[in-house]
């Protein structure tokens, strides 16, 4: 299937690992010009630079100026922008609400909500200038299924859904589509990095982090398919939403969670 993304200029935040990296890979394979923003680079991202000419930009997107700088970089390099994928987001496992102070609330909101708000604000004039444009926000099922261990993250993702809907309403008449993807657990460093959620689940169950990802997480979270999502599966959904094939889809949230959320 031709997704008609060839030569589109695509900006991806949080792009050196996990879902962001898979999104960069997927768009690059479609022949898009991809600009990838993260604080550091990885061997995998460098491989995509070598293979497909992906532009990797080192930038802290949790700052007020970071998203502006990333958008400027893309526009200076290619003279236009067609697609923005806001993949950056972060959570820290918490004992509970009383353990999250103001600074931590602010940090999680800067990473998970304000990075997307700022990137969208900087990108929209260029998307509008191109005559059509797409924003895909990587949200989370925690927006609608808040969890006390990630109380701040859940709230930030709920706010991101709200912004997704507002932007879709305001800019649809001018050719811009804005949608959200809500993943359940995805096999990325978010879970698998040292100190991440897989280690925490493994410690509680007295097993390895790998066993936690493969067995305990799907079982304990009620994932109907019996497995977590792979990053490339989220990237494939982002590709479709960015494609003209999804030309009348806007203001929508797409869950990809193996059936974990039991309501429609
Ligand atoms: N994995 C899941 O189970 C899951 C489930 C639901 C939703 N999500 C959402 O999916 C999105 C991607 O998650 P993921 O699992 O792929 O995350 P991840 O594996 O933790 O990767 C995060 C990416 O963001 C970059 N990053 C972190 N802080 C940054 C900063 N200040 N400035 C710029 N880049 C920064 C990281 O690279 P550097 O460290 O090099 O900066 C990395 O490339 C997030 O919005 C997350 O909330 C994930």
- Over residues 156-191, the pLDDT tens digits come to 999 999 999 999 999 999 999 999 999 999 999 999
79 and 208 both lie in a single domain:
no
- Over residues 22-63, the pLDDT tens digits come to 999 999 999 999 999 999 999 999 999 999 999 999 999 999
Distance 170 CA to ligand 1 centre (A): 28
- Is the pLDDT at 196 greater than 90? The verdict is no
- How many structural domains comprise the chain? 2
- Over residues 55-104, the pLDDT tens digits come to 999 999 999 999 999 999 999 999 999 999 999 999 998 999 999 999 99
pLDDT of residue 245: 98
| C-alpha to C-alpha distance for 163 and 177, rounded to whole angstroms | 13
pLDDT of residue 5: 98
Residues 55, 49: contact at Cβ < 8 Å? yes
| C-alpha to C-alpha distance for 227 and 237, rounded to whole angstroms | 18
Q: Answer whether residue 26 is part of any domain.
A: yes
Ligand 1 pocket test, candidate residues 21, 38, 45, 228, most atoms within 8 A of CB: 38
Q: Answer whether residue 180 is part of any domain.
A: yes
Residues 123, 37: contact at Cβ < 8 Å? no
Which residues are CB-neighbours of 259 under 8 A, at least 6 positions away? 223, 224, 225
For residue 19, the ligand 1 atom closest to its alpha carbon is 16
pLDDT of residue 205: 87
Distance 60 CA to ligand 1 centre (A): 12
215 and 233 both lie in a single domain:
no
pLDDT of residue 197: 84
How many angstroms separate the first and last alpha carbons of the chain?
29
Q: Answer whether residue 167 is part of any domain.
A: yes
Distance 197 CA to ligand 1 centre (A): 13
Which uninterrupted H or E stretch holds 48?
Answer: helix 43-52
Assign residue 106 the CATH number of its domain: 3.40.50.720
Whole-number average pLDDT of the chain: 97
Which residues are CB-neighbours of 171 under 8 A, at least 6 positions away? 124, 128, 178
| CB half-sphere exposure, 82, CA atoms < 13 A | 17
Quick one: pLDDT band at residue 195, thresholds 50, 70, 90?
A: confident
| C-alpha to C-alpha distance for 28 and 23, rounded to whole angstroms | 8
Catalytic residue numbers, as ranges: 153
Quick one: pLDDT band at residue 107, thresholds 50, 70, 90?
A: very high
Quick one: pLDDT band at residue 3, thresholds 50, 70, 90?
A: very high
For ligand 1, atom 20: residue with the closest CA:
190
Q: Which residues line ligand 1 (CB under 6 A)?
A: 14-20, 37-40, 60-62, 87-90, 111, 138, 140, 183, 185-186, 188-191
CA geometry: angle at 258 spanning 92 and 154, to 5°? 30
| C-alpha to C-alpha distance for 135 and 126, rounded to whole angstroms | 12
Which residues are 256's β-sheet partners?
Answer: 183
What integer is the mean pLDDT of 236-248?
98
For ligand 1, atom 23: residue with the closest CA:
14
24 and 70 both lie in a single domain:
yes
Quick one: pLDDT band at residue 254, thresholds 50, 70, 90?
A: very high
85 and 216 both lie in a single domain:
no
- Is the pLDDT at 200 greater than 90? The verdict is no
Q: Pick from 46, 37, 23, 32: which is nearest to 186 by CA?
A: 23
Distance 49 CA to ligand 1 centre (A): 19
- Is the pLDDT at 204 greater than 90? The verdict is no
Range of the domain at 89: 9-184+229-254
């Amino acid at each position: 299937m031709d997704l008609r993304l060839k030569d589109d200029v695509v900006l991806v935040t949080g792009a050196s690992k996990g879902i962001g990296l898979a999104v960069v890979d997927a768009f690059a394979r479609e022949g898009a010009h991809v600009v990838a923003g993260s604080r550091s680079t990885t061997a995998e991202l460098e491989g995509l630079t070598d293979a497909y000419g992906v532009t990797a930009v080192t930038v802290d997107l949790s700052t007020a100026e970071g998203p502006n700088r990333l958008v400027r970089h893309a526009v200076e390099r290619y003279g236009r922008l067609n697609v923005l994928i806001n993949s950056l987001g972060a959570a820290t496992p918490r004992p509970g609400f009383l353990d999250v102070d103001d600074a931590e609330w602010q940090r999680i909101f800067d990473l998970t909500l304000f990075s997307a708000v700022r990137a969208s604000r900087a990108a929209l004039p260029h998307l509008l200038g191109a005559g059509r444009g797409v924003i895909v926000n990587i949200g989370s099922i925690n927006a609608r299924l808040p969890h006390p261990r990630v109380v701040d993250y859940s709230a930030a993702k709920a706010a991101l859904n709200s912004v997704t809907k507002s932007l879709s309403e305001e800019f649809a008449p001018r050719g811009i589509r804005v949608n959200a993807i809500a993943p359940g657990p995805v096999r990325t460093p978010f879970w698998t990095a040292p100190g991440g959620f897989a280690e925490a689940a493994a410690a509680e169950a007295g097993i390895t982090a790998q066993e936690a990802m493969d067995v305990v997480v799907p079982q304990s979270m009620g994932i109907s398919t019996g497995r977590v999502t792979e990053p490339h599966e989220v990237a494939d959904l982002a590709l479709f939403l960015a494609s003209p094939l999804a030309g009348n889809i806007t203001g929508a949230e797409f869950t990809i969670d193996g059936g974990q959320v039991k309501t429609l």
